[in-house]
């Protein structure tokens, strides 16, 4: 079987090479792919049983891939440019890694990795530069998007360039460290390590003993206890002539102390000005995987009003030791990797101590890596905000509501429970119906993947319901008993028919319509998501359950179970993993198909990192399921929008050559406050808020009639002050070859004081976390004093399907807009999805400015075609994206002057019926505000109540 799998991979790899040549001459079609697969299989593997259909499907996926570019913020203070083609010419570690990747991945993906790692490496320092240097950066990817592959490529290139000591900080737990070690053995070392520090066998890039003479050294091994230990430390010595040394270590106080001691006692060759041991002969590259976890100092180092720091302060254990290791080298580069960079951004760059040196703020660069089009991320799963809820998401989530009893305090797994909790469903020692269905779905998924030719691929299920290991073990036992019960019923026939009726009903009501919906949403016409007949599925269930019966495992700090994917590479591991924190960060669940997730937290980085279900799902995306609570679906949607906005903000700042410090300010100013743990935000107790280049819209409203009346009166005062409208009734804007029409009223050149008065008087609902009218009033006031946001366009917009209404006794709005209650929101307030229609943001642009914004949108889409939003389809943008509307309005474009003084306020009276209020009630006053982009760093203070953090956003168990 192992040899057959290798033959399959060779056929795919060689065919890909032929197709790359064909692509240079024209297009690659499914028919051409099938023809080349037949040719290669016939000549390379005559008589072999090659699954040609699966080979064709894999190559279609590879050649359908879109790859986006990487955006960079950098500060080149003290940096010397060094990386050129001549330095890259004879690289061997990278070349063999590239060859290894091309046997498994799309050439486009490998080219993108090559380009991204070049960008990172060139922002580090030349390892041959002799005087001291210190470069610190951060690479921001997506959860489960291939960050390990990226830093493996970076390590290969760094070793080629001359970095001699490479340290990888790989999580807090042995299994994650071991997993990372295995990946680096395949991609960099080229051999399998053992506790004896000998070469067990050549693997990955070193298969067949290739390039044995450049084999890197490694001081750690793949075994569960293969971390840097005392025995290795005593006997390990290196010299500059030797090949590079790799250390893959946990973020553990004892391990890091041991490594630091070894560096100071056995590697240091000089002393610094304070008399501390210093390594001047070896350049260091330190890779910090999941850099926002454990590495960030959560202590409160005092910084005086004059900016002076308390340099006797003692940082927290892990942070202190990482910094001491860096401080022991005169030439060092630190590169953090994370999908949730907010804790890192909150690090105050002024912080430093005598013993540790500077803190880990990524002062040299931040690189934002786009995910390829086949990445299944939050936007793909949950969609993005739209006027009618959310749009663009896939129908893969299933609501769980049977974890607790009616009181919310008891039941199988109530939100708050302790380590002694006994999970009982209605008094019985069994799982609730929702988990029973999730396990049943996983059995069916395994069967379909087997029938699709993916039987030798890993297939995993995640169950994440508690952080307590004792409770996890109870859940594991219950699930194992359920799976054994299923197996006995299928194999022995006892109550088999009843089970088959249950599963066939699940198949027909869930799998059949979902696969069809995913195929439509993904515009997939090649048959990738075609389902087998039920009879075919039923015929293989016994085999599937046979593989699953002994594969329900608890993955936590005390359990002995491991996820031995590497040992089951040829047969494929079928596993149900029950865990908590170990499964919440870093650890990759290969072939994750079904997730059952009910842990509660509202912190951005915690939620995103718990999302192990994001990643790549080639050939089985339609089979994936996420069983979770409606609250978590709502919050994931919320942070999905925030993530998209912050990435767009990053790209915009990259275009104006901002520095990492500028971005730090922007992240802190983001109105979504629950970005990370409050103890990681010591420097952000008072957030400095800037709205430049942002769009804000009210999506949560009071139902109280007195507040509705007040907000309506505030709006009418503004309209009275604005005077006679420049446009009324219906007004038209010429947009290229098309016209856009609005119904309502528009005022030009309205002084800022009237807008400030509106924001000061309007009462926003506390649930409108992103929009605080008082803070908006302060911001406009401060900006106007500096000569920006002084002249406003105000639009009163109708044209919906609601009732007619007259405002100020003279502005007759034919039909008010309607916005239905957001079904995901269960609060007492009136909540909607999106208020703005995307085109409304460009209402104040003339044709030339609109076309310039569209041109920038098209250019951006060509760079990153995987990004598609409600405003602009991924195929061919027909209208400008809001981010470029705001950029052109404020900063201008080629031949078009910028107007940072021009703000846009959009007023939307909403028909009260939308909120379930009486027909004769007053309309609900909603607003959207589009701020032009600006070079200004002006901010206003936004106080954060830490009690609010602790009661509203802290994790609940």
Distance CA 277, CA 471 (A): 47
Closest CA to 479 of 442, 527, 523, 529: 442
Taking residues 860-875, what's their average pLDDT?
Answer: 52
Taking residues 75-97, what's their average pLDDT?
Answer: 93
Give the model's pLDDT for residue 877: 78
**Structure confidence at residue 389 as a pLDDT band (50, 70, 90):** low
Residue 227 pLDDT greater than 80, yes or no:
yes
Residue 818 pLDDT greater than 80, yes or no:
yes
**Structure confidence at residue 138 as a pLDDT band (50, 70, 90):** very high
Sequence spans of domains, the chain:
1-63, 68-299+313-365, 395-629, 694-951
Provide, rounded to the nearest whole percent, the portion of the chain with pLDDT above 70: 83
| Cα atoms in the Cβ-side hemisphere of radius 13 Å centred on 709 | 4
Give the model's pLDDT for residue 126: 97
Q: Which residues of 694-710 are buried (b: 16+ CB within 10 A; e: fewer)?
A: bbbbbbbbbbeeebbeb
Give per-residue pLDDT as tens, 295-305: 887 677 776 66
Give the model's pLDDT for residue 387: 62
**Structure confidence at residue 84 as a pLDDT band (50, 70, 90):** very high
The CATH superfamily holding the domain 68-299+313-365 is P-loop containing nucleotide triphosphate hydrolases (3.40.50.300)
Give per-residue pLDDT as tens, 407-424: 777 889 988 888 899 999
Give the model's pLDDT for residue 481: 94
Distance CA 169, CA 579 (A): 22
Burial category of 86 from C-beta neighbours within 10 Å (exposed 0-12, middle 13-18, buried 19 and up): exposed
How is 23-37 classified by DSSP, letter by letter? HHHS---HHHHHHHH
Closest CA to 771 of 619, 929, 888: 929
Residue 563 pLDDT greater than 60, yes or no:
yes
Residue 866 pLDDT greater than 60, yes or no:
no
Task: Looking at 398-527, list the stretches that DSSP marks H as alpha helix, in order from N- to C-terminal side.
Answer: 433-451, 469-492, 496-506, 512-521
Give the model's pLDDT for residue 175: 78
**Cα–Cα separations (whole angstroms), residue 847 to 731, 853, 883, 900:** 14, 10, 17, 18
Give per-residue pLDDT as tens, 265-293: 989 999 998 899 999 999 999 999 988 77
Give per-residue pLDDT as tens, 636-666: 776 677 667 667 777 777 776 777 876 654 4
Give per-residue pLDDT as tens, 354-375: 889 999 989 999 998 887 777 7
Backbone phi and psi for residue 170, each to the nearest 5 degrees, phi listed first: -120, 75
Closest CA to 412 of 429, 398, 395: 429
Q: Name the packing angle between helices 2-25 and 52-63 (round to 10°).
A: 40
* CB within 8 Å of 557: residues ≥ 6 apart: 173, 469, 582
Question: Higher-confidence residue: 738 or 435?
Answer: 435
Question: Higher-confidence residue: 462 or 50?
Answer: 462
Which residue(s) pair with 271 in the sheet?
277
Mean pLDDT, the chain, whole residue set: 83
Backbone phi and psi for residue 145, each to the nearest 5 degrees, phi listed first: -105, 0
**Structure confidence at residue 841 as a pLDDT band (50, 70, 90):** very high
CA 689 to chain CA centroid, Å, is 24
Distance CA 338, CA 589 (A): 17
Question: Higher-confidence residue: 758 or 31?
Answer: 758
Residue 701 pLDDT greater than 60, yes or no:
yes
Distance CA 130, CA 141 (A): 32
Which tokens sit at 948? 């609010």
Question: Higher-confidence residue: 903 or 384?
Answer: 903
Give per-residue pLDDT as tens, 233-262: 777 776 656 789 999 999 999 999 999 999
- Judged by average pLDDT, the poorest of 456-460, 886-890, 948-952 is 948-952
Taking residues 486-511, what's their average pLDDT?
Answer: 93
Q: Kindly report the CA angle at 245 between 241 and 248, in degrees rounded to 5? A: 175
Question: Higher-confidence residue: 103 or 341?
Answer: 103
pTM: 0.70
Question: Under a CB-based contact definition with an 8 Å cutoff, are residues 221 and 228 in contact?
Answer: no
Distance CA 313, CA 315 (A): 6
């Amino acid at each position: 079987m192992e040899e057959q799998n290798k033959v399959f991979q060779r056929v795919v790899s060689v065919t890909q090479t032929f197709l790359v040549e064909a692509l240079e001459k024209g297009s690659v079609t499914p028919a051409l792919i099938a023809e080349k697969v037949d040719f290669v299989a016939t000549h390379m593997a005559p008589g072999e049983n090659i699954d040609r259909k699966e080979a064709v499907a894999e190559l279609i996926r590879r050649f359908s891939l879109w790859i986006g570019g990487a955006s960079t913020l950098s500060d080149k203070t003290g940096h010397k440019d060094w990386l050129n083609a001549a330095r890259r010419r004879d690289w061997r570690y990278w070349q063999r890694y590239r060859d290894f990747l091309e046997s498994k991945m799309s050439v486009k993906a490998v080219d993108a990795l090559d380009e991204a790692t070049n960008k990172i490496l060139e922002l580090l320092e030349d390892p041959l530069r002799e005087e001291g240097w210190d470069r610190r950066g951060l690479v921001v990817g997506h959860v489960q998007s291939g960050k390990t592959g990226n830093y493996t490529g970076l390590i290969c290139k760094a070793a080629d360039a001359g970095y001699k000591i490479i340290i990888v900080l790989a999580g807090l737990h042995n299994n994650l460290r071991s997993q990372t070690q295995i990946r680096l053995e395949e991609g960099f070392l080229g051999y399998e390590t053992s506790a004896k520090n000998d070469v067990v066998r050549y693997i990955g890039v070193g298969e067949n003993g290739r390039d044995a003479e450049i084999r890197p050294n490694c001081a750690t091994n793949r075994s569960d206890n293969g971390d840097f230990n005392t025995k290795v430390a005593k006997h390990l010595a290196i010299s500059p002539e030797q090949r590079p040394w790799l250390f893959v270590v946990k973020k553990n106080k004892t391990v890091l102390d041991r490594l630091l001691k070894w560096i100071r006692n056995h590697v240091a060759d000089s002393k610094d000005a304070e008399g501390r041991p210093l390594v001047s002969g070896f350049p260091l590259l330190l890779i910090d995987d999941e850099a926002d976890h454990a590495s960030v100092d959560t202590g409160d180092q005092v910084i005086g009003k004059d900016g002076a720091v308390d340099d006797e302060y003692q940082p927290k254990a892990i942070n202190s030791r990482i910094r001491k290791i860096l401080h022991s080298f005169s030439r060092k580069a630190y590169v953090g990797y994370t999908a949730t960079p907010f804790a890192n951004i909150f690090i105050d760059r002024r912080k430093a101590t005598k013993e540790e040196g500077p803190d880990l703020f990524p002062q040299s660069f931040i690189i934002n890596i786009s995910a390829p089009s086949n990445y299944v991320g939050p936007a793909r799963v949950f969609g993005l905000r739209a006027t009618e809820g959310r749009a663009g998401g896939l129908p893969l989530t299933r609501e769980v509501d049977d974890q607790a009893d009616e009181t919310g305090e008891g039941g199988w797994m109530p939100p708050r429970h302790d380590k002694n909790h006994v999970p009982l469903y209605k008094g019985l020692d069994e799982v609730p119906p929702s988990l029973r269905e999730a396990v049943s779905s996983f059995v069916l998924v395994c069967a379909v993947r087997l029938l699709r030719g993916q039987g030798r691929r890993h297939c995993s299920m995640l169950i994440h319901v508690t952080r307590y290991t004792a409770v996890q073990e109870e859940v594991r036992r219950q699930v194992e008993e359920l799976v054994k019960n299923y197996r006995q019923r299928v194999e022995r026939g006892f109550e088999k028919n009843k089970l088959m009726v249950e599963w066939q009903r699940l198949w027909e009501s869930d799998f059949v319509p979902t696969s069809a919906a995913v195929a439509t949403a993904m515009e997939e016409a090649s048959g990738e998501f075609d389902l087998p007949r039920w009879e075919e599925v039923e015929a293989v269930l016994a085999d599937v359950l046979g593989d699953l019966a002994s594969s329900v495992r608890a993955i936590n700090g005390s359990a002995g179970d491991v996820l031995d994917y590497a040992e089951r590479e040829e047969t494929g591991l079928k596993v149900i993993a029950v865990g908590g924190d170990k499964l919440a960060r870093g650890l990759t669940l290969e072939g994750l198909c079904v997730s059952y997730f009910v842990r509660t937290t509202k912190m951005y980085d915690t939620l995103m990192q718990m999302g192990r279900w994001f990643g790549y799902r080639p050939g089985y995306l339609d089979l994936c399921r996420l069983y979770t609570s409606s609250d978590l679906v709502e919050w994931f949607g919320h942070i999905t929008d925030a993530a998209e906005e912050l990435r767009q903000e990053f790209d915009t700042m990259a275009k104006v050559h901002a520095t990492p410090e500028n971005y730090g300010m922007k992240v802190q100013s983001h109105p979504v406050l629950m970005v990370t743990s409050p103890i990681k935000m010591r420097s952000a107790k008072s957030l400095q808020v800037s709205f430049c280049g942002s769009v804000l819209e009210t999506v949560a409203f009071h139902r109280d009639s007195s507040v509705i009346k007040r907000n309506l009166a505030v709006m009418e005062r503004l309209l009275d002050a604005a005077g006679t409208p420049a446009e009324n009734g219906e007004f038209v804007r010429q947009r290229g070859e098309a016209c856009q029409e609005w119904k309502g009223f528009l005022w030009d050149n309205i002084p800022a004081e009237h807008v400030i008065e509106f924001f000061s008087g309007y009462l926003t609902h506390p649930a409108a976390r992103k929009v605080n009218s008082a803070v908006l009033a302060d911001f406009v006031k401060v900006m106007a004093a500096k000569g920006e946001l002084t002249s406003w366009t105000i639009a009163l917009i109708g044209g919906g399907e609601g009732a007619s209404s007259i405002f100020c006794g003279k502005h007759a709005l034919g039909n008010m807009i309607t916005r239905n209650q957001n079904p995901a929101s269960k609060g007492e307030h009136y909540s909607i999805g999106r208020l703005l229609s995307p085109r409304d943001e460009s209402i104040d642009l003339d044709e030339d400015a609109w076309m310039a914004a569209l041109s920038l949108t098209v250019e951006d889409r060509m760079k990153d075609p995987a990004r598609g939003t409600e405003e602009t389809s991924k195929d061919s943008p027909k209208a400008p994206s809001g981010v470029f509307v705001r950029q052109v309005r404020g900063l201008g474009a080629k031949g078009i002057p910028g107007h940072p003084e021009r703000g846009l306020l959009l007023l939307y009276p909403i028909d009260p019926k939308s909120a379930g209020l009486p027909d004769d009630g007053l309309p609900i006053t909603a607003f959207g505000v589009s701020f032009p982009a600006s070079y200004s760093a002006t901010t206003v203070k936004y106080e954060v109540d830490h009690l609010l953090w602790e009661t509203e956003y802290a994790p609940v168990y």
